[in-house]
Copies of this chain bind each other. A is one copy, B any other.
Amino acid sequence: MGVSETQLIERYFRHVGAPRDDVVLGIGDDAALLQVPGDAQLVLTTDALVEGVHFLPGAPARSLGHRCLAVNLSDIAAMGASPRWALLALNLPQADAHWLEAFAAGFDALARLHGVALVGGNLSRGPLSITVQLAGVLPRGVALRREGARAGDALYVSGSIGDAAAGLKCLQGTLAASAPARAYLQGRFEFPTPRVELGAGLRDLASACIDLSDGLLLDAQRLLRASNCRACIELERLPLSAALVETCGELAWQQGLSGGEDYELCFSAPPAQAAAIEALALRTASPVTRIGVLGAGSGLELKLHNVVMRFAASGFDHFQA
């Protein structure tokens, strides 16, 4: 290979991401040095992509560069914060120039879109895995949490759900789809859209928020548990893409409920905010759909054609038997 860790960082990562005035010291010293606004709270998150777990061996590097940042941006969005500074820890089996270029390009494009600077990281030899840590800021006391939803609030979800999991099945060869549907679904898996602007706008409107990484069924229940609420979701209302419906037919809603990796936001808001939420959705080009209502108590009810169903919890959990 004949190229050092330092040279690899110089060549592929030095200029990745947005330049930011608040980066006092970025890549190249023992740690990054950053100027935090005086009145801000700091938001920190980390998420990892592991080969064979979160992506298939041989997955396109550009998609991985995008996804490893997108999944973290989604966590920052779910808090209503503005992303600022990223660290990247990359374990690589070998230093492949084409792979590194494509990976860096995918990371860079998404980072610039959201004004995120790459300020440091770590490069090691090892089985391919990618861990990003993302720091964001927001004004004191306004963070969105999973708790805070109240009986009577409406339950919303952004974008469409179930697409990414269906796209992964297409990639794995376990789901057949038409060429255009397949392209759309795979794109939703490989290049998810973190709802950063929507999340920041929801700070003043939503009562609770979570991002959908493990599927609506699991993640909505996390929000409900944290908020001590129950919810009734009307399955006819689930935002399902035309491609998903075309591909999965009558079972599309099941895919929408349990499919993970969508990185949409699920949030609650008082009914009085409905118009403001619609306006925000338009302004940020992030479609949102009201899918149900919250009540006192606990648990999740699913209603299909006015028949109430109870559904065994499912979704993606790494250590479930």
| B-binding residues in A (CB < 8 A) | 1-8, 24-25, 28-36, 38-48, 50-54, 74-76, 78-79, 81, 85, 87-89, 91, 95, 119-127, 129, 131, 133, 135-136, 140, 143, 145-146, 209-211, 226, 317-321
Closest beta carbon of chain B to A126's beta carbon, Å: 4
Chain B positions within 8 Å of A210 at CB level: 30
Chain B positions within 8 Å of A47 at CB level: 89, 122
Give the docked Cα–Cα distance between A81 and B143 (Å). 27
Closest chain B residue, CB of each to CB of A317: B4
Query: A125 with B318: in contact, given A31-B79, A87-B133 (CB under 8 Å)?
Result: yes
Q: Are B91 and A44 in contact (CB under 8 A)?
A: no
Q: Are B123 and A319 in contact (CB under 8 A)?
A: yes
Q: Which of B33, B79, B209, B319 contacts A8 (CB 8 A)?
A: B319
Closest beta carbon of chain B to A279's beta carbon, Å: 24
Chain B positions within 8 Å of A76 at CB level: 30-31
Q: Which of B1, B30, B125, B317 contacts A78 (CB 8 A)?
A: B30
Q: Are B46 and A87 in contact (CB under 8 A)?
A: yes
Cross-chain pairs A/B with CB under 8 angstroms, 24 sampled = A4-B319, A5-B319, A24-B41, A25-B143, A28-B226, A29-B146, A30-B74, A30-B75, A30-B146, A31-B45, A31-B81, A31-B136, A32-B43, A33-B41, A33-B79, A42-B42, A44-B87, A46-B88, A46-B89, A47-B122, A52-B126, A54-B124, A127-B129, A135-B135
